[in-house]
Amino acid sequence: MDPVRDTYGRPLRSLRISVTDRCNLRCEYCMPQEDYVWLERSALLSFEEITELATIFASAGVEKLRLTGGEPLLRRNLDRLVLLLAQVPGIRDLALTTNGLQLAQHAAAFRQAGLQRVTVSLDTLRPERFTALTRRTGHQRVLEGIAAAQAADFASVKINAVIMRGFNHDELADLVEFGRAHRAEVRFIEYMDVGGATRWSSAQVFSAAEMLRILAERYGPITPLAPHDSAAPAERYRLPDGVTFGIISSTTRPFCGSCDRARITADGMFFRCLYAHDGTDLKRLLRAQVAPDEILATLRRLWADRADRGAEDRLALKSRAPLFRVEDLKANPHHEMHTRGG
């Protein structure tokens, strides 16, 4: 399928589908507030509506789908959605990002339904840090979720770890060792000033360059690897002993130039960039019975007009502060990372 290309020639190849804005954790870098304005439940797309949209996106060139949220496993019977999406013509990669809390109960069913890859977020190996970061308990359950994912034999299980200076930057090597022991590639993520990160400060960003320096001091020379996929957000590296890891350096070394990712929220808003201020309400079109071909034409037009390079624009700013104020996020929860899907 020849994908539609945007103003910079970037193809539309991958779609992140947020299935819920709710979450059972309150990570400091994502949901630091005490209370949130939630999407109306009646506004959430049904599994059939999500599948219909995914089919239209696939007709525009999308080959890769990732389920995310909020916490996607809070959506009941998610394996039914996996089964539907696995059958969408043109989709060759179906993945999930989860905080892992409920993964142990569902990993085998997801695999059976056709899920190919799983990424589990695990920022710390220390239970007390987990509780401080997420304001919830459950570290052990996340570890059990990772073990269950390994047992379910996915094509890959990866670990996402957001690294914050002064919180967990001393755990880089421990996380690499955890990945080695559990056959899961770790991807270190720079703390991003996305919507929702209302406590973000540049002082807390631990840069990719610093991560590489610390790991090289510990392990010796690190070799950059050619990417499996030139549009993948993570740069991959190999340690002298063969262990590989990735770094997602969205804050200090953004990779907008190769970005092929679109997003839809659980209520069907389409965003062309993680940092975009405005989206397009695809649910309205679906529920008004607009023909799929017309929705496809709208989608192609929107992508062809895409000029977003959000992370690069942020980097170019002289002084950086959180992207949105709390009042703005409450007025429009679509700006939240947990609504938009990471």
Picked from ligand SAM, ligand SF4, none, the partner binding residue 31 (CB below 5 to 8 A depending on kind) is ligand SF4
- Please tell me the distance from the alpha carbon of residue 105 to that of residue 171, in angstroms, as a whole number: 28
Please give the residues from 116 up to 175 whose contact with ligand SF4 meets the rule CB under 6 A: 121
Could you identify the residue written with the tokens 């992370």? 311
Given 18, 55, 99, 198, the residue binding ligand SF4 (CB under 6 A):
99
Given 52, 71, 171, 260, the residue binding ligand SAM (CB under 6 A):
71
DSSP 8-state secondary structure symbol assigned to residue 160? E
**Residue 30 interacts with ligand SF4 (CB under 6 A)?**
yes
Least CB distance to ligand SAM at residue 312 (A)? 16
Q: Toward ligand SF4, which CB reaches closer, 106 or 215?
A: 106
Q: Toward ligand SF4, which CB reaches closer, 52 or 308?
A: 308
Which residues touch 245 (CB under 8 Å, ≥6 apart)?
176, 179, 185, 186, 187, 188, 215, 236, 237, 239
3-state SS class at 59: helix
Picked from ligand SF4, ligand SAM, none, the partner binding residue 336 (CB below 5 to 8 A depending on kind) is none
Q: Which candidate, 224, 246, 101, 261, places its Cα nearest to that of 179? A: 246
Q: What are phi and psi of 51, to 5 degrees?
A: -65, -40
Given 197, 208, 274, 323, the residue binding ligand SAM (CB under 6 A):
197
Given 30, 157, 186, 273, the residue binding ligand SAM (CB under 6 A):
30
DSSP 8-state secondary structure symbol assigned to residue 218? H
* CA 277 to the chain's CA centroid: 18
Contact code string over 146-175 relative to ligand SAM, x by CB under 6 A: --------------x-x-------------
| Sheet strands (E) in the chain | 14-18, 64-68, 93-98, 117-121, 156-163, 185-190, 223-224, 235-238, 244-248, 261-264, 269-271, 280-281
Picked from ligand SF4, ligand SAM, none, the partner binding residue 191 (CB below 5 to 8 A depending on kind) is ligand SAM
CB 282 within 8 A of CB 292: no
**Residue 100 interacts with ligand SF4 (CB under 6 A)?**
no
Given 66, 139, 182, 261, the residue binding ligand SF4 (CB under 6 A):
261
| Sheet strands (E) in 164-297 | 185-190, 223-224, 235-238, 244-248, 261-264, 269-271, 280-281
- Please tell me the distance from the alpha carbon of residue 263 to that of residue 253, in angstroms, as a whole number: 21
Q: Toward ligand SF4, which CB reaches closer, 69 or 215?
A: 69
Please give the residues from 295 up to 324 whose contact with ligand SF4 meets the rule CB under 6 A: 308-311
Which residues touch 243 (CB under 8 Å, ≥6 apart)?
176, 179, 180
Stretches 48-56, 68-76, 103-111, 327-335: which one binds ligand SF4 (CB under 6 A)? 68-76
**Residue 70 interacts with ligand SF4 (CB under 6 A)?**
yes
Given 74, 78, 211, 273, the residue binding ligand SF4 (CB under 6 A):
273
- Please tell me the distance from the alpha carbon of residue 108 to that of residue 226, in angstroms, as a whole number: 32
Q: Toward ligand SF4, which CB reaches closer, 32 or 114?
A: 32
Would you tell me which residues interact with ligand SAM (CB under 6 A)? Answer: 23, 29-30, 68-69, 71, 97-99, 121, 160, 162, 189, 191-192, 194, 197, 337-338, 342
